[in-house]
Amino acid sequence: MANEKLDGHLRNRLLAAVPASDFSLLKPDLRATVFKQGAVVQQEGEFIEHVYFPQTGMISLLVITQEGGGIEAATIGFEGAVGANGGLGKRRAFTRGVIQLPGTISHIPASDLKRVVGRSNAIRDIISRYTEVLLVEAQQIAACNALHDAEARLARWLLQTQDRTPGPASSFPFTQEFLSQMLGIRRTTVTLVARALQRAGLIRYTRGKIVILDRPGLEEAACECYRVIQHETLPATMGIDLKPR
Amino acid sequence: MPRYYFHVHNRERLEDDDGTVLPGKKAALIHALGVARELMFKRSGMLGQPWSAWTMRVKDKNGKTIHTLPLAEVPEGDTQH
């Protein structure tokens, strides 16, 4: 099993898009660590110290308001990275990055990534293109949170999360409290809306666990935002090829 | 502090089985209005039935109904929690 570790890093789509010669510049500083649910990998207001490339698991970027409330701005799994722009220069984070599904995450100090970026146009291109993709995702989610109802948003959120987990997984350890924070609605509302999706046969919902039963049905229940932010199609739709030519 | 349960029904019945701990009946009513507004937000429909057809019933831990709110009668307002 030669290169087992290298293969692990390449489970992340962005790292897999790096040409082999450039990846060899990155590899000495990349580490893979298993992170637990709830761990904070990026703190809002602080400079980005590390850049995270999930192999498995999922990270939410949360906008935290002064009253302490929060709402999710983006969901990141094996298709993306957290803090990637920290590889372009010293940058401050404006969101809190929280591990929502435990998993193995490749990471690199931002200063090391920046040094490699200075020698690799390919990696610089990947980071700047991915940053464009993330902007489109975040603006769509912002509009969705302001304009769409709780049922459509919960359906959209479950689908986007499933898409970003390898497998893909169909069972998720999410409490109402947690979903309430992701969607910016009361826990009671989450419970009632989840009960409605369950009654329609789309999910099974027990305390702290959601199972997706009917994906096409859930896509019907979701708003159009889900289709916009589908990571398999979004870069191409934008006219972006993440892989350098 | 007491725990209150916020069920909604029309032909179907959606149960809030966990409930929420709140200081008292007045706080339960404020919570109910907030949830009702979130449920009615924008598109307002569920299980093929408009939200205006639903009624929320707030119960205490003994199953006694303390507030009944037809969603159609809930005034517009701030949904911040």
Q: How many CB pairs under 8 A join A and B?
A: 56
Q: Note the pLDDT tens digit of each residue in A1-53.
A: 444 444 799 999 999 999 999 999 999 999 999 999 999 999 999 999 999 99
State the complex-level ipTM: 0.90
d(CA A118, CA A113) in angstroms, rounded, equals 9
* pLDDT score, position A186: 93
Residue numbers of chain B with a pLDDT score lower than 50? none
Q: Does B12 reach chain A within 8 Å, measured CB to CB?
A: yes
Q: Is B20 on the interface with A (CB under 8 A)?
A: yes
What pLDDT shows up at residue A29?
A: 96
What pLDDT score was predicted for residue A4? 47
pLDDT computed for residue A75 by the predictor? 93
Query: Considering only CB atoms, which residues of chain A are within 8 Å of chain B?
Result: 69, 147-152, 176, 185-189, 191-193, 195-196, 199-200, 207
Give the separation between CA A7 and CA A189, rounded to whole angstroms: 42
Contacts of A69 in chain B (CB under 8 A): 81
What percentage of chain A has pLDDT greater than the value 70?
A: 97
Contact B55, B70 (CB under 8 A): yes
Number of residues that this document lists for chain B: 81
> Which residue of A190, A192, A193 is the best one to mutate when testing the B interface, meaning the one whose CB has the most B CBs within 10 A?
A192
Whether B14 sits inside 8 A of A196 (CB atoms) is yes
Q: Which CATH number, 3.50.50.60, 1.10.10.10, 1.20.120.1810, 3.40.630.30, labels domain A149-222?
A: 1.10.10.10
Closest residue of chain A to B35, computed from CA coordinates: A189
Q: Give the bridge partners for A92, in sequence order.
A: A47
Mean residue pLDDT of chain A comes to 91
By the CB < 8 Å criterion, does B38 face chain A?
A: yes
What is the residue-wise DSSP string for A56-113?
SSEEEEEEE-TTS-EEEEEEESTT--BSGGGGTS--B--SEEEEEE-EEEEEEEHHHH
Cα separation, A31 vs A234, in Å, equals 28
B17 touches chain A (CB under 8 A): yes
B73 in Cβ contact with B37 (< 8 Å): no
pLDDT in tens, A124-161: 999 999 999 999 999 999 999 888 889 999 999 999 99
pTM: 0.89
pLDDT at A2: 43
pLDDT of B47: 67
Asked if residue A104 has pLDDT above 90, the reply is yes
So where are chain A's domains? Answer: 2-133, 149-222
CB contact under 8 A, A148 and B43: yes
Query: Each residue of A94-124: b (16+ CB within 10 Å) or e?
Result: ebbbbbbbbbbbbbbbbebbbebbeebebbb
Closest Cα in chain A, distance from residue B42 (Å) = 6
Give the mean model confidence (pLDDT) for residues A224-245: 85
Tell which CATH classification among 3.40.50.720, 3.40.50.2300, 2.60.120.10, 1.10.150.120 matches the domain A2-133: 2.60.120.10
Residue-wise pLDDT for A57-92, tens only, equals 999 999 998 887 788 999 999 999 999 999 999 999
Give per-residue pLDDT as tens, A191-200.
999 999 999 9
Cα–Cα dist A55/A91, whole Å: 24
As to burial, measured by CB atoms within 10 angstroms (0-12 exposed, 13-18 middle, 19+ buried), residue A45 is exposed
